[in-house]
Structure 1
Amino acid sequence: MRKPGKRRAVPGADPPRVAVNHTGDAVATAGATAVTGHRGPAPPRADDDTRHIAVRVSGSGPAIATAPGAFAVSGQMTIVRAPREPAPWPHQVGVVPGRAHCFRDRAEARRLRAAMEGGGTAVLSQVLAGMGGVGKTQLAAEHARTALQDSEVDVLVWVTARDRISVVAGLAQAGRELCRAEQEDPLHAALAFLAWLAPKANALPCRWLVVLDDVADPDDLHGLWPPTSPHGQTLITTRRRDAALTGHGLHLIDVGLFSATEAQDYLADSLTAHGRTSPADQLTALAGDLGRLPLALAQAAAYLADSGATVPAYRALLADRATTLADLAPDRLPDDQDLALAAAWSLSIDRADTLRPAGLARPMLHLAAMLDPNGIPHTVLTSRPALAHLAAHRTNAQTPADTAEEPAPVLPGDAVRALRALHRLSLVDHDPDHSHQAVRIHQLIQRATRDTLSPAGYGRIALAAADALAAAWSDIERDTALAQALRANTAALTACAEDALFEPDAHAVLYRAGRSLGEAGQAAGARDHFERLAAATRHHLGGDHHHTLAARHELARWRGDAGDLAGAAAALAELLPDRQRVLGDDHHGTLATRHELAYWRGVAGDPAGAAAALAELLPDRQRVLGNDHHDTLATRHNLASFRGVAGDPAGAAAALAELLPDVRRILGDDHPDTLATRHYLASFRGVAGDPAGAAAALAELLPDVRHILGDDHPSTLAARHELARWQGEAGDPAGAAAALAELLPDRQRVLGNDHHHTLATRHELARCQGEAGDPAGAAAALAELLPDRQRVLGNDHHHTLATRHELARWQGESGVW
């Protein structure tokens, strides 16, 4: 294929022309310029760009200047501009933001100075990254001002880099001011400036600093990165944490929140500047409420100064869900800020929602906004309910809302990528290596996100979060750290959306969180949880609602486990007729209260009465629930146990031996109730006269309990206690005392000093010390234990009586009364 060549002029032909005819008058008023005809220079010829086309002007009107300073031309005017001289050094291009009121010299500023000192010997490009509102721009501006004022740079270029057009425009302006770049082509001028920055042999070195502030998208810098130079430095501020901004030649500096001291000092100085003072404890509390976010602190101080409100009054408004962050914005934003706090993250959310998988970042943020800001487990945000929420509420979903077509499914990997999108925009911190606290989010981002929701949307998302928490909770808690994180997230959800969790009934996650506390050994915490839940269900649903009755049942149960045995029995006795009246005699809830009432009467000191009540209950549970139901098995277990406590240990052992294969068949070997049946069977064999067999069975059980439930589970601690007890009974009291001494601090730490199991360990430890040859030590320990058992259990409880008996025995053995 032939390449086109230049067109040749035809000899003798007239040169091409531009004809301009009849252009009218040129009238110029004061200070103006007017031209009629053609204003040049003439365009170049197509066949030879060194020659210009002739311009012929005819019929142009008169030129009329009507006032002093006016200039009018008729015909053709050609202007050739003289080249602009480069600006002398030192020189600044762009406007550096002003210094914020009460600016703090922070650790990040010192890290930045240290990183950028040394010019070419340090990493040349620094990236200040962090969530919106942490003060990245202020840190960069302070560094830039200081560098110019201290003559550390010859050229400072400040570019607001929120999009590619802004980047090109800022660099182009530097090109025009510093290297004679043409203004007609901004991209060409920007590239010319970047080329000018590159080091050149035998050229006078220029020490430069280019600041690209608020980079919204790394792609906006494609082809526009300042060059590597021993004399130059680049400083970037951004909310983004993409790999493209942390690669080779880039040094990331995470900009975080104020420290507690910095936040309090900032508030104190800001208020003092407006003639206001507040106690230090109030300022510390306010800083905590605002998450020590610099932008929030600045706007709060401005609001307090403008409105005259007190710090406690402002905190009350902030805690009121009916008040939005927009309501708390000052009338005039401080420090030339562009956005009120409520809008500080909206652009980041919009951009995150465009990242793959498109449309999932926003609904994922909605879920995270309802949960614990200090850590949300991965399993919650990738659970089935969470995935269903993402699929149903994908932003700009293609499925019309009014069709029956199912939305495209969302997979767990999609949910993780949505979290990564939010992480890249600094809206959340996503750390998959810490799966139980994989997602952290600032409390004000949560608040601003929730403020955008409609009432219906708020309730819907709260229920989706509750469903996700419930789905992440296993029936058997083997992972205590995960259980603790789930409880914290349930508490956070309840704090911000309690009303939604009672529509239409009390959500199951509220009950699961309380039971989790108790199962972790925090009986007092479980009691307090269900006390609040009982009040809340009564308020939202009424006293006779079955969920209110269920909360009362759980409250009584954990009240007993926390040490108030008689109070638990009394509360259950009061609840039973209400359940019978509302639910009926055969309702499983009524049967459960009968079972629990019998149990706590037995634990409180009436094992024979408990056995009689359970014997009466068993056929009702078998009839209503069936022989293989979990509750029926539980009644058989407790019936056998209380018969043993009431004086028939051999019969108890036989009944438990008969129960064990049924429990294994129905529940499995690893179920906690199977482990409990093995535990009680071994103990009653010991009471029935086989201490060595009991110790052997418990020694076999303990590693299974540890593996399945964990070292700190109450059932593990109970197995350790019984193993030590029967080792002592089998002839090794010293070994038993050593094991119990090791167990006691664990029970005190997990269960508390007043738990009846902790008191039982103290009793058994004292007894074994006596058996091992220290009767005086045993007597002293039992004398110390007795008032605690009397206070917690009462004077007539059989455990209290046992302690009095052992105390008398060892006082007699030691001769000390």
Structure 2
Amino acid sequence: MNAQVLAGMGGVGKTQLAANHARHAWGDGEIDLLVWVTAATRQAVIDAYAQAAADILHADPTDPERAAQAFLAWLEPKPTPQATPRWLIVLDDVADPGDLRGLWPPTHALGRTLLTTRRRDAALTAHAQSVPVGLFTQGEATAYLQQALAGHRRRDNNSVLEALAADLGHLPLALSQAAAYLIDTHLDVASYRIHLADRARQLADLLPEPGTLPDDQPTSAAAAWSLSLDRANQLRPVGLARPMLQLAAMLDPNGIPQAALTSEPALSHLAANRTPQHDRGSTPTPPAITAESAIGALRILHRLSLIDHTPDEPHQAVRIHQLIQRATRDALDPDHQSRLARTAADALTAAWPEVERDTELASALRANTTAMIACSEDGLYRPDVHVVLYRLGLSFAEAGQVTSARQHFQQLTTTTTHYLGSDHINTLTARSNLAHWRGEAGDPTGAAAEFAAVLKDRLRVLGPKHPDTLTTQSNLAIWQARTGDLAGAVAACTAMLETSLRVLGPDHPHNLTTRNNLANWRGEAGDPAGAAADCAAVLKDRLRVLGPEHPDTLLTRANLACWLGEAGDPAGAAAACTAVLKDFVRVLGPDHPRTLATRNNLANWRGEAGDPAGAAADCAAVLEDRLRVLGPDHPDIFMSRAGLVYWLWKAGNPAGTAAACAAALDDHLRVLGSETPHANTARKTLAIQQGQTRDLAWAGPEFATLVRDFLALALAKATPTPTPPETTLPMARARDEVRNTAGDHPQRGA
């Protein structure tokens, strides 16, 4: 096949590649005839062929169709090779494969056809070999900028040029036009990047004016994409390509979940913004928009190279160049962008599962929400804070990214206060979440103080009987307990429960959670049997109210198992943990922090029941999975390492204990530093375990102290698993028990 199709998005340099090939073929004497056709329309192709026929065959130019066919017939192989010219036909920028019906040059051993297009239709590959043309690599893009600017005596830092190339998405046309703009304006690269990042500036203002484009380029990148979008919007399903591209322009260019773009909010957006159809026959109303319609719109955009649609990768099914996104948003007025941001937020919320079983999907949703915030922050705060902003913070915590959760809620608090005022209910909720994550980041005293301040404001703004006020009282009690004031926490929760029972009723999830907390604190005060009895009562009510598969029900079952063990029945605790673990895996998934916590608890109770070697093996397996899911510095890693050290020691495995102790010491030193009170103890104990001293009498009790130190460290660093705001929350203890608390803040059972 002597025909090739250079296919790719507008701006990757297909025309330049074709022109370079044609110049070399002509200059090297490889061809006798070169015909360049700007093939934007069928008529343009016919006219170009007719002109060639008039020049070569002296055909009548007044009948272009006949002349064009005469030219194609002349290109057919001749009886004698001497009568056959060597030719190259370039069909540049084919907009519609249908325009070439009956106009393809013939297959000829001495002839070549080269076609450039943004289309990826199967009809093209039936006639020619497809050659995808992509973006520059980072090195190619940086080298291009260096060369373009050096020609005008510009010597810019290589790292700055790399950053600019990344900002422009390594798109050749954008790099060329940006370099021309820098040369014409004498602007330095750093300032240009600041302008480029400014959402108030349009992309067109940061590129040369149409009459001054470099390399005889006919249009700017934005104009080229606009033409492609106009064509896409005319294809079936008609009128959906434009609103679909506008929605995708608000999300992550590196991968958008298909579930978001086919969600009910997305379908409603397509229906409301579908381009009106004219002359579409007698159909009174356009067909309903379905998920199939949305996928059809994605396929159109893919065919026109405006997006890459890979349905086999559902979590990152749509990728789109960031400059196409920028140009698409630039075409919208601020109000439209704000409405579109809320639509995108609705779509992400609809695609976000209540339980994040699929960690890859959750990661993609977080990335898309972060990208959406950067596009249009204002629209997400008016008239109120969109729920997806809370969901993002909780998802960070769900993934074990406690610092990211705290930072997110700090930003959310600041921005909500700016837009809505300090007394707005959304501001108070953001402050509550921030208080919680402040505590989980290692400042329980600060968390308690902040909750006390939030409670004061909620009492003033909402009154003592509002559910949010009652929730804040619960959270304040939780952090009182975490700071050591267990008696104060019990008293506060007991008083709050009396009011909450009258206001919300005995079956409200808030009251069930408060009862669960009181049960836990009863156990922590020294009555594990009473705690187990109270947990059993809460479990009975949660089964009735929430059902057997609700995460809070499973959480209470896990708590009950732990209090049974604390009350002297480790075998019963292990059996209960085994049973609830199966349900955690089925409901939350194998990698959910609560599932991993339950596995860790099961390992500990297995050891307490008399199988330390089995407990050590289980702890090692949990540690491996926690490292994979949470990373090496997550607080749960301390807990897993401490358990592994302890059970290896109890199992009589000195070599394994020494290795595990060394790893735990590395974590200790890396995260807390070398001057902590337990660091020297850890070093000395490790030396003994490695046989560097014979003071074995000292090693036993001192090693037990070290294990307690690591467990204390694990408790101090432990963080909870998130649940949605204004709902129920779990709490962690040193032995890795999963506990439950109340309130509007995410917590996790480690």
TM-score (norm. length: structure 1): 0.79
User: Pairwise mapping of residues 126-165 of structure 1 onto structure 2 (< 5 A)?
Assistant: 126-165=4-43
2:744 paired residue number = none
1:338 paired residue number = 218
1:125 paired residue number = 3
Mapped partners of 1:691, 1:549: distance in 2: 43
What is the CA-CA distance between 1:469 and the residue it aligns to?
1.1
Instruction: Work out whether 1:507 is the aligned partner of 2:386.
Output: yes
2:264 paired residue number = 384
Unaligned runs of 5+ in 2: 690-694, 706-750
User: Pairwise mapping of residues 213-292 of structure 1 onto structure 2 (< 5 A)?
Assistant: 213-247=92-126, 249-292=127-170
Mapped partners of 1:810, 1:584: distance in 2: 62
What is the CA-CA distance between 1:745 and the residue it aligns to?
4.3
What is the CA-CA distance between 1:488 and the residue it aligns to?
0.8
Mapped partners of 2:140, 2:222: distance in 1: 23
Is the Cα contact below 8 Å between 1:608 and 1:643 reproduced in 2? no
> What letter matches 1:227 in structure 2?
P
Is the Cα contact below 8 Å between 1:563 and 1:756 reproduced in 2? no
Question: Equivalent residue of 1:589, what SS?
Answer: helix
1:564 to 419, 436, 443: 443
> What letter matches 2:621 in structure 1?
E
Instruction: Work out whether 1:348 is the aligned partner of 2:209.
Output: no
Distance 1:376 1:178, change over 3 A: same
> What letter matches 1:491 in structure 2?
T
Is the Cα contact below 8 Å between 2:10 and 2:221 reproduced in 1? no
> What letter matches 1:388 in structure 2?
S
Distance 1:175 1:789, change over 3 A: closer
Mapped partners of 1:664, 1:313: distance in 2: 61
> What letter matches 2:162 in structure 1?
T
1:370 paired residue number = 250
> What letter matches 2:118 in structure 1?
R
Is the Cα contact below 8 Å between 1:131 and 1:426 reproduced in 2? yes
Question: Equivalent residue of 2:289, what SS?
Answer: coil
What is the CA-CA distance between 1:310 and the residue it aligns to?
0.5
Distance 1:791 1:614, change over 3 A: farther
Instruction: Work out whether 1:712 is the aligned partner of 2:599.
Output: no
Question: Equivalent residue of 1:354, what SS?
Answer: coil
Question: Greater CA deviation, 610-619 or 303-312?
Answer: 610-619
1:328 to 206, 231, 237: 206
Is the Cα contact below 8 Å between 1:379 and 1:472 reproduced in 2? yes
Question: Equivalent residue of 1:345, what SS?
Answer: helix
Distance 1:790 1:387, change over 3 A: closer
Distance 1:791 1:616, change over 3 A: farther
Question: Greater CA deviation, 721-730 or 654-663?
Answer: 654-663
1:732 to 611, 634, 637: 611
What is the CA-CA distance between 1:382 and the residue it aligns to?
1.0
1:173 paired residue number = 51
Question: Greater CA deviation, 490-499 or 666-675?
Answer: 666-675
1:465 paired residue number = 344
1:394 to 274, 280, 283: 274
Question: Equivalent residue of 1:373, what SS?
Answer: coil
Is the Cα contact below 8 Å between 2:246 and 2:329 reproduced in 1? yes
Question: Greater CA deviation, 357-366 or 608-617?
Answer: 608-617
Question: Greater CA deviation, 194-203 or 152-161?
Answer: 194-203
Mapped partners of 1:386, 1:556: distance in 2: 34
Distance 1:641 1:531, change over 3 A: same
1:438-458 C-alpha deviation (Å, 9 max, x unpaired):
111110011101111112211
User: Pairwise mapping of residues 27-66 of structure 1 onto structure 2 (< 5 A)?
Assistant: none
User: Pairwise mapping of residues 516-555 of structure 1 onto structure 2 (< 5 A)?
Assistant: 516-555=395-434
2:546 paired residue number = 667
Is the Cα contact below 8 Å between 1:329 and 1:341 reproduced in 2? no
Distance 1:141 1:567, change over 3 A: same
1:639 to 503, 512, 518: 518
Distance 1:512 1:786, change over 3 A: closer
Mapped partners of 2:110, 2:277: distance in 1: 50
Instruction: Work out whether 1:199 is the aligned partner of 2:199.
Output: no
Distance 1:398 1:173, change over 3 A: closer
Is the Cα contact below 8 Å between 2:400 and 2:634 reproduced in 1? no
Is the Cα contact below 8 Å between 2:633 and 2:671 reproduced in 1? no
Question: Greater CA deviation, 669-678 or 189-198?
Answer: 669-678
1:677 paired residue number = 556
1:15 paired residue number = none
1:520-570 C-alpha deviation (Å, 9 max, x unpaired):
222221111111111111111122211111111111222333343333223
Question: Equivalent residue of 1:134, what SS?
Answer: coil
Distance 1:694 1:142, change over 3 A: same
Instruction: Work out whether 1:628 is the aligned partner of 2:515.
Output: no
1:243-282 C-alpha deviation (Å, 9 max, x unpaired):
21123x4211111111000000000100011111110111
Question: Equivalent residue of 1:214, what SS?
Answer: strand
Mapped partners of 2:609, 2:537: distance in 1: 25
Question: Greater CA deviation, 485-494 or 199-208?
Answer: 199-208
1:691 paired residue number = 570
2:292 to 413, 423, 443: 413
Question: Equivalent residue of 1:374, what SS?
Answer: coil
What is the CA-CA distance between 1:752 and the residue it aligns to?
5.3
> What letter matches 1:237 in structure 2?
T
Distance 1:374 1:648, change over 3 A: same
Distance 1:434 1:746, change over 3 A: same
What is the CA-CA distance between 1:368 and the residue it aligns to?
0.7
Mapped partners of 1:428, 1:275: distance in 2: 37
Distance 1:760 1:189, change over 3 A: same
Mapped partners of 1:277, 1:450: distance in 2: 33
Is the Cα contact below 8 Å between 1:561 and 1:755 reproduced in 2? no
> What letter matches 2:174 in structure 1?
A
Instruction: Work out whether 1:813 is the aligned partner of 2:693.
Output: no
Distance 1:406 1:610, change over 3 A: farther
Mapped partners of 1:503, 1:175: distance in 2: 64
Is the Cα contact below 8 Å between 1:375 and 1:485 reproduced in 2? yes
Is the Cα contact below 8 Å between 1:534 and 1:548 reproduced in 2? yes
> What letter matches 2:391 in structure 1?
R
Higher helix share: 2
1:51-105 C-alpha deviation (Å, 9 max, x unpaired):
xxxxxxxxxxxxxxxxxxxxxxxxxxxxxxxxxxxxxxxxxxxxxxxxxxxxxxx
> What letter matches 1:699 in structure 2?
T
Distance 1:491 1:147, change over 3 A: same
2:325 paired residue number = 446
> What letter matches 1:387 in structure 2?
L
2:740 paired residue number = none
User: What RMSD in Å do the two structures reach over aligned CA positions?
Assistant: 2.9
> What letter matches 2:248 in structure 1?
A
Is the Cα contact below 8 Å between 1:160 and 1:212 reproduced in 2? yes
Mapped partners of 1:231, 1:333: distance in 2: 37
1:594 paired residue number = 473
What is the CA-CA distance between 1:216 and the residue it aligns to?
0.4
What is the CA-CA distance between 1:467 and the residue it aligns to?
1.2
Instruction: Work out whether 1:187 is the aligned partner of 2:40.
Output: no
Distance 1:326 1:171, change over 3 A: same
What is the CA-CA distance between 1:681 and the residue it aligns to?
0.9
Unaligned runs of 5+ in 1: 1-122, 400-404
> What letter matches 1:287 in structure 2?
A
Question: Equivalent residue of 2:233, what SS?
Answer: helix
Mapped partners of 2:103, 2:667: distance in 1: 80
> What letter matches 1:348 in structure 2?
S
Distance 1:534 1:151, change over 3 A: same
Distance 1:197 1:795, change over 3 A: closer
Question: Equivalent residue of 2:60, what SS?
Answer: coil
Question: Greater CA deviation, 768-777 or 376-385?
Answer: 768-777
Is the Cα contact below 8 Å between 1:388 and 1:409 reproduced in 2? no
Is the Cα contact below 8 Å between 2:633 and 2:667 reproduced in 1? no
1:767 to 628, 646, 650: 646
